[in-house]
Structure 1
Amino acid sequence: MPPSASSTPPAAQTPRQRYRAQVQQEVKQAALAQIAAGGIEALSINAIAKTLGMSGPALYKYFRNRDDLLTALISDGYEDAADVTREAARRAADASPRDRLLALAHAFRDWALAQPHRYLLLAGTPAVAYEAPAHTAESARKVLGPFLAVLAEGRPWPAAEPLYGEVRAWVAGTPAVADWAAAYTSVADPVPTLAATILAWTRIHGIVSLEVQGLFANMGHDPATLLTLEIGSLADTAGLGSTATS
């Protein structure tokens, strides 16, 4: 959880806590407006404080520094994207595994295109000398949970064995990853599913990042078509059928 966030339910908060949460939200909204207008380079604590009628030192009562604010924005972005993938999974619950995977991929793309400034906070290094804290990885895994659940219905494939070995070592050294897999799947060995999820995430990010940056301009294709082909190919390789099962 971001250091500046509160885990106390709003109904149980004191007036002071509610006021603090309100100001933090206003600060984050002002920061996102800056980033949307001028990129991450436009983010200025002093400018945010001025917009909100505060002094710079007063704002630091709510976020310790720029990095603390960036971390809150990144965590919020992952939580928002996770809501989107969960809702896409719910809407596609009766579809085939292949179509559910495609629905998740396109829902994430739609989210990224609707607010590219937030997507770019998640997709790369948002600022010089900034490194996202380890706890943001938990938020990122929430986005991928629905993908994990679908890909658990697939099958391993021999060509991915080199990746399986690396993922197995990752799981062994990171208990939180094993817990994450167990929360979304009931498979005895989560490694093939985790590897397939990494591959899906890589393909989605590859296409979405290029599109958000405008690097598909004048190339004569619809990136949505490319995403369908890439994720469809992965689904086929993973053995996810194209028709719903009864």
Structure 2
Amino acid sequence: MTEGRAGGPRERYRAQVRAEIKQAALDQVANGGAGAVALTGIAKRLGVSGPALYKYFASRDDLLTELILDAYAEVATAVAAAAEASRDASPRDRLHALAAAYRDWALAHPQKYLLLTGPPSPTYQAPPETVDRARAVLGPFLAVLAEGRPGTGAADVRDQLVRWAEATPAVAAWVRAFAPDGDAGDALTGAVTVWARLHGVLGLATVGLFAGMGFDPAALLHAEIDALADQYGLP
């Protein structure tokens, strides 16, 4: 009678198998990138038939989507915790705290981070939920950068992003939610800029391209965030 209830033996077994499938897929990502994820290889590792996996994930893309959503949820939690812990600090220090939280998560979970750096395959179509999760990660950055002004150096980018927000209600609502009192164009420009700088440094660091160069990538990221804080005049 209890096997069909939430939390019963059957549901616990299903959750365990799903977790094992996801871990096997993450191991494949670690060894060969997102393109290496293969249900046949996962089935072989788990000692089950290929068709048996489809009881847990309808397709390879469904599995990848869940991994991406999980990764976004994890890093969003880390960034939100940093935002709360640093809420009484200066805007510059808050920005550094957010970037450090993102950095620490990415370096601790490089295989998950790789899933966030681009489509896992040429045919993969990301569902809208992944975009919502990405905005949740960047929201705290947007809130801090809304307190500054970028000057005129990013005017062209700002104008383009403002037009994008005006044409995309979900983007406009996101900006209003995190920066209700700031300049929407400046805040959005800052969020996109910090996103580019984070991925620029961390994308190279997580695949080992800084190895042997004799410097700490964390120091480079700190300098990049400091430069952005200077650009926005954050105290």
What TM-score, normalized to structure 2? Answer: 0.89
Higher RCO structure, 1 or 2 (CA under 8 Å, sep 6+): 1
Supply the RMSD in Å over aligned alpha carbons.
2.0
Tell me the equivalent position of 1:141.
135
CA distance in structure 2 between the aligned counterparts of 1:172 and 1:218, rounded to whole angstroms: 46
Q: Which moved more, 1:50-59 or 1:177-186?
A: 50-59
Same amino acid, percent of matched pairs:
54
Q: 1:198 aligns with which of 192, 205, 214?
A: 192
CA distance in structure 2 between the aligned counterparts of 1:148 and 1:27, rounded to whole angstroms: 35
Letter in 1 for 2:195: W
CA distance in structure 1 between the aligned counterparts of 2:107 and 2:144, rounded to whole angstroms: 24
CA distance in structure 2 between the aligned counterparts of 1:167 and 1:131, rounded to whole angstroms: 23
Q: 2:68 aligns with which of 65, 74, 77?
A: 74
Q: How many residues align?
A: 230
- 1:34 matches 2:47: no
Q: Which moved more, 1:130-139 or 1:97-106?
A: 130-139
Provide Cα deviations, 1:179-233, integer angstroms capped at 9, x if missing partner.
1112212226411101011111111110111111222223332211111111101
C-alpha displacement of 1:135: 2.6
Provide Cα deviations, 1:150-174, integer angstroms capped at 9, x if missing partner.
1111124122210111111111121
Q: 2:147 aligns with which of 143, 149, 153?
A: 153
Secondary structure of residue in 1 paired with 2:180:
coil
Tell me the equivalent position of 1:7.
none
Secondary structure of residue in 1 paired with 2:128:
coil
Q: Tell whether the 8 Å contact from 2:25 to 2:42 is kept in structure 1 after alignment.
A: yes
Tell me the equivalent position of 1:103.
97
Secondary structure of residue in 2 paired with 1:153:
coil
C-alpha spacing 1:132/1:218, structure 2 compared with 1 (3 Å) = same
Q: Which moved more, 1:220-229 or 1:124-133?
A: 124-133
Letter in 1 for 2:211: A
C-alpha displacement of 1:127: 2.7
Q: Note the residue ranges of structure 1 that are not aligned, 5 or more in a row.
A: 1-11, 242-246
Q: How do 1:112-127 and structure 2 match up within 5 A? A: 112-127=106-121
C-alpha displacement of 1:91: 1.7
Q: Which moved more, 1:190-199 or 1:132-141?
A: 132-141
Provide Cα deviations, 1:63-114, integer angstroms capped at 9, x if missing partner.
1111111111111111111011011112212211101101111211111111
Tell me the equivalent position of 2:229.
235
Letter in 2 for 1:130: Y
Letter in 2 for 1:136: T
- 1:183 matches 2:177: yes
Letter in 2 for 1:52: L
- 1:220 matches 2:210: no
Q: Tell whether the 8 Å contact from 2:146 to 2:182 is kept in structure 1 after alignment.
A: no
Q: Note the residue ranges of structure 2 that are not aligned, 5 or more in a row.
A: none
Tell me the equivalent position of 2:125.
131
